[in-house]
């Protein structure tokens, strides 16, 4: 079984990235051949500074490795180190219905948030489909909000297969029912572009400040509070044991404790949770060649697979 997932280097990774993509991906290392790419091609839709993009890509590699990705069991590489994916994206675009792309939730959401309606943003699902199909991926772990992209990938693969014969296998989404959408400081989905994130490896003072800025209602300290829908409780549930979570929910309902105290409790659990990963990160940084070696080895393996698939695709469509 071949597993594929990718993450954008659009900025420092936050806990939404970790629980939504990184932790499930790391857990899948033991289930099959895992390929994880740093999606720098995709990041071009939002990152315009070349030095920032290069630095972000390297930082994603560092942080992923620090969080538990094992390069002996998984392949980690940069998107742009496999340029064949852009060739496949063009071939897929020749059969992609406009209506299919116009229905993409992510495109409409980004436009609603003020992003410019570029061709790259519109074609984003086509490039994502190429990312998946070029490695003959069997399984793609995604959150519920990303399921549509896998459905669109399957639609495009079927279009190619119907037009040119059996070229692609159809990938399956792997949606972990335990993985929830991680809320940001304002209660919406955590996202760097929304500015509501808490970074995994941020400065302690800044991380504490951001946790303490979580938006709450004006319920007085002495009054009971509703744990249902509370951003504090939702985030705490990611780090706490069942008993600890039950205790916080009980304290919410009982009253007499202010939101500030609950936020302090949340920060302590969050900071403790990532402590071993911060230590591993420092160890990696001391080996100047480690990241480059991992990415080089990963690119070699990714290209081996992509070359095989693209030979099959080119022959099928008449380019060879």
Q: Is 225 one of the annotated active-site residues of the chain?
A: no
Distance CA 243, CA 247 (A): 6
Q: Is 192 one of the annotated active-site residues of the chain?
A: yes
Q: Which of 189, 205, 225, 242 is catalytic?
A: 189
Q: What value, to the nearest 5°, has the Cα angle with vertex 107 and ends 102 and 108?
A: 80
- H-only helix segments in the chain: 15-17, 23-27, 40-43, 50-66, 84-93, 98-102, 105-112, 119-122, 124-133, 147-164, 204-212, 231-239, 242-254, 259-273, 275-286, 290-317
Tell me if 65 sits within 8 A of 291, measured CB to CB: yes
Two tokens at 84? 């064949």
Two tokens at 179? 């993985």
Look-up: residue for tokens 């994206």?
89
Tell me if 69 sits within 8 A of 298, measured CB to CB: no
Q: Give catalytic residues, as residue numbers.
A: 110, 189, 192
């Amino acid at each position: 079984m071949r597993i594929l997932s990718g993450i954008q280097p659009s900025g420092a990774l936050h806990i939404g990235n970790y629980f939504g993509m990184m932790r499930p991906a790391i857990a899948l290392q033991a289930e099959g051949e895992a390929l994880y790419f740093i999606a720098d091609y995709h990041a071009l839709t939002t990152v315009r500074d070349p030095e920032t993009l290069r630095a972000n890509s390297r930082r994603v590699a560092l942080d992923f490795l620090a969080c538990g990705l094992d390069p002996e069991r998984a392949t980690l590489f940069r998107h742009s180190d496999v340029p064949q994916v852009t060739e496949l994206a063009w071939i897929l675009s020749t059969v992609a219905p406009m209506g299919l792309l116009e229905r993409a939730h992510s495109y409409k959401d980004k436009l609603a948030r003020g992003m410019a309606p570029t061709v790259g943003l519109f074609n984003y699902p086509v490039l994502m489909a190429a990312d998946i199909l070029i490695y003959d991926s069997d399984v793609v772990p995604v959150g519920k909000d990303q399921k549509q992209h896998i459905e669109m990938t399957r639609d495009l693969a079927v279009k190619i297969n119907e037009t040119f014969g059996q070229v692609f296998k159809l990938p399956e989404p792997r949606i972990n029912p335990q993985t929830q959408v991680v809320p940001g400081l304002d209660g919406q989905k955590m996202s760097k572009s929304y500015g509501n994130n808490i970074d995994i490896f941020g400065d302690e003072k800044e991380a504490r400040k951001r946790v303490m800025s979580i938006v709450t209602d004006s319920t007085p300290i002495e009054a009971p509070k509703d744990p249902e829908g509370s951003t504090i409780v939702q985030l705490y549930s990611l780090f706490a044991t069942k008993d600890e979570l039950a205790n916080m929910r009980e304290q919410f309902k009982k009253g007499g404790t202010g939101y500030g105290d609950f936020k302090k409790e949340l920060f302590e659990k969050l900071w403790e949770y990532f402590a071993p990963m911060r230590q591993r990160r420092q160890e990696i940084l001391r080996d100047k060649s480690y990241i480059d070696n991992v990415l080089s080895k990963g690119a070699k393996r990714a290209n081996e697979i992509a070359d095989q698939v693209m030979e099959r695709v080119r022959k099928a469509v008449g380019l060879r």
